[in-house]
Amino acid sequence: MFKQLEKINERPEPFQFYTASDLWTDEHTSKQMLSFHLNESIDVSSRNAEFMDRSVKWIASEFKIGRGSRIADFGCGPGLYAARLAKRGASVTGIDFSKRSIEYAKEAAAREQLNISYVNQNYLEFETKERFDLVLMIFCDLCALSPTQRKGILSRFHKILKPGGAVLLDVYSMSAFEQKEEAATYEVNQLDGFWSPNKYYGFLNTFKYDKEKIVLDKYTIIEPERIRQVYNWFQYFAPEDLEREFVEAGFFVKELYSDVAGTPYDRRSNEFAVIANKT
């Protein structure tokens, strides 16, 4: 028991483990995540509906979205942004790890006869011959990726964009990082049964890496037949650090905002958004 507790509380190296599939492809947790996506009043998995409506209105204006616009939505979930943009005339490709979310999105697009192509795939491996005017990665997805993964995804964005095409994404800020604290908690059926339909014991260890500006939520889920660990990494950014990564990938940063709805940039915001154009 002591050795197991030591393992539960062990601090890994930054981005040492990558367990995205455990969250997005597990039968039970993917169902939970989809229910969060579809709850229009909360900011879990997706933004709330009121924010998304404002966000899409701003995106459509900022990028002159209309018939003929081609958009790639990385981490599209059940297609909440993709559907809104397709209704404005855009041709949208949505890529997501979750089979359950993609199936929901495909059914919704078919019902409404929307011009959307959905791909059920880890977007780190996405390949296409299509070229896009705009790439989206919304709800701070970039923050879950290691430096190597970020380098790869930005290179992928550059490859699939038309000349002068743009990326819009958001990330967690240094202001948010300063508010984070390390903690260790334990609970029966942690997060109201999120991790399993059966009884389990859940441990959450939150580690803060001051030098790298990373936070890890490490979940250990103990069931009668198995013990598993899920690692949720969060990279926090200063604008100059994010800009450096974009420049190295062949982009120039056009503008910063406090969110993907066009709110003017404020360094005190917990998140910020960036528009970067392909050079």
Task: Give domain status of residue 180, yes or no.
Answer: no
Task: Give domain status of residue 260, yes or no.
Answer: yes
- 1-5: long-range pairs with CB below 8 Å, 24+: 4/227
DSSP-assigned beta bridge partners for residue 71: 92, 134
Q: What's the rounded mean pLDDT across residues 110-117?
A: 97
Q: Which of 8, 12, 19 is nearest to 203 (CA)?
A: 8
Could you tell me the pLDDT band of residue 134, with boundaries at 50, 70 and 90? Answer: very high
Task: Give domain status of residue 189, yes or no.
Answer: no
DSSP-assigned beta bridge partners for residue 182: none
CA-CA distance, 205 to 226, in Å (whole number)?
Answer: 19
One-letter amino acid at 178 equals E
Return left, alpha or beta for 102; rule: phi > 0 is left, psi -120 to 50 is alpha, else beta: alpha
The CATH number covering residue 149 comes to 3.40.50.150
Task: Give domain status of residue 16, yes or no.
Answer: no
Interval 28-46: pLDDT, tens: 998 988 887 777 766 665 7
CB burial readout 93-126, b (16+ within 10 A) else e = bbbbbbebbbebbbebbeeeebebebebeebbee
Could you tell me the pLDDT band of residue 25, with boundaries at 50, 70 and 90? Answer: confident
Task: Give domain status of residue 14, yes or no.
Answer: no
Domain that holds residue 35: 27-172+236-278
pLDDT of residue 12: 98
CA-CA distance, 198 to 224, in Å (whole number)?
Answer: 9
pLDDT of residue 39: 78
Task: Give domain status of residue 205, yes or no.
Answer: no
Tell how strand 132-137 and strand 183-188 pair up. Answer: unpaired
pLDDT of residue 26: 85
Quick one: DSSP state of residue 86? H
CA-CA distance, 61 to 124, in Å (whole number)?
Answer: 29
Q: What's the rounded mean pLDDT across residues 99-125?
A: 97
Task: Give domain status of residue 221, yes or no.
Answer: no
- Average pLDDT along the chain: 95
Q: Which of 262, 33, 72 is nearest to 156 (CA)?
A: 72
Could you tell me the pLDDT band of residue 203, with boundaries at 50, 70 and 90? Answer: very high
CA-CA distance, 133 to 7, in Å (whole number)?
Answer: 47
Tell how strand 132-137 and strand 251-257 pair up. Answer: unpaired
Q: How many domains does the chain have?
A: 1
pTM of the entire predicted model: 0.95
Lowest mean pLDDT among 11-25, 81-95, 234-248, 254-268: 11-25
Task: Specify the DSSP element, H or E, that contains 215.
Answer: strand 214-222
Task: Give domain status of residue 200, yes or no.
Answer: no
Interval 46-68: pLDDT, tens: 778 999 999 999 999 999 999 99
Q: What's the rounded mean pLDDT across residues 218-232?
A: 96
What percent of the chain shows pLDDT beyond 90?
90
Q: Which two tokens stand for residue 85?
A: 């943009």
Q: Is pLDDT at 269 greater than 80 in this prediction? A: yes
Interval 140-183: pLDDT, tens: 999 999 999 999 999 999 999 999 999 999 999 999 999 999 99
Q: Which two tokens stand for residue 2?
A: 């002591």
